[in-house]
Amino acid sequence: MGKNKIMEILIKDLENDTSIMYLITETGNNVKAEIVANYLEEKNVLSKWVMEHDVFKIVDKRTNDVKYIKGDDNVNPLILVFYLDKGLMSNKDIIVPFTESVNNLLSDRKINAVAFFLPTETNERIECINPVTIPENEMVRVNKILKDLEKTYSLDK
């Protein structure tokens, strides 16, 4: 299939902590569907589909997020993991505006990155993961971070 002008990816929850991703044409026809078991598989499918098509609208039914992205710009976004004080993260008056401002900054400046926010009882910090340049010896640490993300973002299932 050649490049399409506008495609949509729809992501929905399934049972057993899995999700299904649909690739849909601008006229609403399903082109592909893939079941993914974790965050890393989801990002791999997303990267593959983004490389095959020009523009995507991503609709995540799990969070009701809608995101517009352009072709190769977002194939391998940086992953920013914000480890924030557990008490701070439980205060919605503080954490909601903070997370929105970070995400707006990334979007407004067209920074090719995704941000995740995890509670910690130790030192607050920000970790940046570049999926293109991860050496093999760092994969253990990255896989642990991804597991933490999976646990945190699947709590409401």
pLDDT > 80? residue 11: yes
pLDDT at 155: 41
Buried b (16+ CB within 10 A) or exposed e, 9-34: bbbeeeeeeebebebbeeeeeeeeeb
Residue-wise pLDDT tens digits, 101-116: 988 888 788 787 888 8
pLDDT at 1: 47
In a domain, residue 97? The reply is yes
Identify the domain boundary among 55, 74, 93: 74
In a domain, residue 13? The reply is yes
Look at the pTM and tell me if it is higher than 0.85: no
Distance CA 98, CA 91 (A): 11
Instruction: For residues 87 and 65, state if they share a domain.
Output: no
Strand-strand pairing, 55-60 and 65-70:
antiparallel
In a domain, residue 2? The reply is no
Instruction: For residues 83 and 132, state if they share a domain.
Output: yes
Instruction: For residues 55 and 99, state if they share a domain.
Output: no
Residue in 20, 21, 1, 19 with CA at minimum distance from that of residue 9: 21
In a domain, residue 111? The reply is yes
Residue-wise pLDDT tens digits, 83-97: 999 888 888 888 888
Retrieve residue 56's tokens: 């995507």
Residue-wise pLDDT tens digits, 13-42: 887 778 898 888 878 888 889 998 877 678
SS3 13: strand
Instruction: For residues 40 and 91, state if they share a domain.
Output: no
In a domain, residue 139? The reply is yes
Average pLDDT in the 73-83 region?
72
Instruction: For residues 90 and 61, state if they share a domain.
Output: no
pLDDT > 80? residue 80: yes
Identify the domain boundary among 74, 89, 112: 74
Strand-strand pairing, 113-120 and 78-85:
parallel
Instruction: For residues 147 and 84, state if they share a domain.
Output: yes
* Domain around 92: 78-153
Instruction: For residues 93 and 60, state if they share a domain.
Output: no
Strand positions, DSSP E, the chain: 7-13, 19-25, 30-36, 55-60, 65-70, 78-85, 113-120, 125-129
Identify the domain boundary among 50, 74, 98: 74
Distance CA 118, CA 47 (A): 24
pLDDT at 81: 85
Instruction: For residues 89 and 137, state if they share a domain.
Output: yes
Residue 156: pLDDT band by 50, 70, 90 thresholds?
A: very low
**Number of domains composing the chain:** 2
Instruction: For residues 82 and 125, state if they share a domain.
Output: yes
Instruction: For residues 85 and 129, state if they share a domain.
Output: yes
